[in-house]
């Protein structure tokens, strides 16, 4: 099956700093990538949809200036959490779409972010 | 909006026990339903899916039937193995693309020898 690699798997950062998370499709071109977030004991929630070469579409309630998404190529999307605060501590996971109808998306391993 | 509710875990079973993980959904249309599994250190993998009422998805001994009348998609396996220990996510998509998903909270399954 298709492989999506997400890096890093865990990161601890200081409050006020920025953290970048990468999502790569290793063996296919991803026209669309999705970013999800999961707080403890809650569902994975879609944050944004990113399309290669265009601006990301953010879900309601997600601050686009805080969560910067760049999808500069067909194999790489990045999520940057800017000026991170402890309440941003969460599990972030990406998925990538091959662009084929009625096929599932493929997920990365996820990133556990802890802001101290 | 659409939502998915699944049972809290962890679910702890002995090897060869019967497994049920409950999942119910709320959706305005006719969604497709999925079970994803996440093994330690890996990404979510699609386990099975069903696209219309009364469809049964199955894979690796796991089964789930799309029950429109009860808005449920419970995951079952007749005899679990230690290697089934993982987190299981129920999800739905109201789009034909299957990529934009609404997830449940996930249920951790722990199987002991």
pLDDT for residue A1: 64
Dihedral in degrees, nearest 10, Cα atoms A92, A93, A99, A105: -140
- Count the neighbouring beta carbons within 10 Å of the beta carbon of residue B39: 14
pLDDT of A11 > 90? The answer is yes
**A93 contacts in B (CB within 8 Å)?**
43-44
**By three-state DSSP, how is residue B83 classified?**
helix
pLDDT for residue A102: 63
Tell if the CB–CB gap between A95 and B45 is shorter than 8 Å: no
Tokens of B51: 């696209």
Of B8, B43, B96, the CB nearest to A102: B96
Strand A67-73 relative to strand A57-58: parallel, antiparallel, unpaired?
A: unpaired
pLDDT tens-digit map of B32-77? 999 999 998 788 899 999 999 999 999 999 999 999 999 999 999 9
Q: Could you tell me the CA-to-CA distances from A92 to A40, B25, B44 in Å, in that order?
A: 12, 23, 12
**By three-state DSSP, how is residue B74 classified?**
coil
Higher pLDDT, B95 or B78: B78
**B45 contacts in A (CB within 8 Å)?**
1, 107
Tell if the CB–CB gap between B96 and A101 is shorter than 8 Å: yes
Higher pLDDT, B77 or A28: B77
């Amino acid at each position: 099956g298709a492989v999506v690699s997400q890096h890093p798997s865990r990161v601890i950062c200081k409050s006020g700093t920025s953290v970048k998370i990468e999502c790569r499709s290793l063996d296919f071109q991803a026209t669309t990538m999705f970013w999800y977030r999961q707080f403890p004991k809650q569902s994975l929630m879609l944050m944004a949809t990113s399309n290669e070469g265009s601006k990301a579409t953010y879900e309601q309630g997600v601050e686009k200036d805080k969560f910067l998404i760049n999808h500069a190529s067909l194999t790489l999307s990045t999520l940057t959490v800017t000026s991170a605060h402890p309440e941003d501590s969460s599990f972030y996971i990406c998925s990538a779409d091959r662009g084929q109808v009625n096929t599932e998306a493929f997920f990365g391993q996820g990133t556990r972010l802890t802001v101290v | 909006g659409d939502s998915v509710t699944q049972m809290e875990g962890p679910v702890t079973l002995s090897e060869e026990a019967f497994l049920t993980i409950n999942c119910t959904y709320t959706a305005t249309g006719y969604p497709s339903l999925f079970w994803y599994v996440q093994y330690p250190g890996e990404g979510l993998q699609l386990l099975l899916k069903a696209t219309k009422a009364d469809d049964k998805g199955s894979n690796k001994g796991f089964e789930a039937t799309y029950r429109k009348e009860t808005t449920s998609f419970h995951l079952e396996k007749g005899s679990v193995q230690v290697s089934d220990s993982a987190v299981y996510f129920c999800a739905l998509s109201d789009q034909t693309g299957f990529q934009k998903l609404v997830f449940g909270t996930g249920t951790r399954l722990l199987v002991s020898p």
